[in-house]
Amino acid sequence: MENIKNLKVNMEQKILESERVVIVPHNNVDFDAIGSAIGLSLITRKLKRPSVIVVDDPIYKIDHGVQLIMDEARKDFTIINREKYLEEEKEGELFVLTDVNKTYLISLNDKLPSKERVIIIDHHAEDDKTIPAEIKFIDPSISSASEIVTKLIGLHKIKLPPEVANYLLAGIYLDTNKLSKNASSETMHVVAKLMESGANLNVVTDLFTEDFISDRRVQELVSRAKMTSFSVATVSASEDTEYTREELAKAADYLLKYKVDASFVVGNVGDHIISISARSKEKIDVGSVMQQLEGGGNQFSGATKLTDCSIEDATKKLMKIIQPTYYVKQ
- Tens digits of per-residue pLDDT, 285-322? 999 999 999 998 888 899 999 998 999 999 999 999 98
Q: What is the mean pLDDT of residues 197-217?
A: 88
d(CA 63, CA 134): 33
Distance (Å, whole) CA 152 – CA 11: 10
* Residue 187 in this model has a pLDDT that exceeds 70: yes
Average pLDDT over residues 14-39: 97
Q: How confident is the model at residue 329 (pLDDT cuts 50, 70, 90)?
A: very low
Which residues, 6 or more positions from 115, have their beta carbon under 8 angstroms from its beta carbon? 131, 132, 133, 134
The pLDDT assigned to 327 comes to 53
Mean pLDDT of 210-227: 88
3-state secondary structure of 327: helix
What is the spatial order of strands in the sheet that 273-280 belongs to? 226-227, 232-236, 262-268, 273-280, 301-307, 296-297
Q: What angle do CA 311, 281, 221 make, to 5 degrees?
A: 35
Q: Which structural domains are found in the chain, ordered by start?
A: 4-207 (3.90.1640.10), 212-328 (3.10.310.30)
CA 51 to chain centre: 20
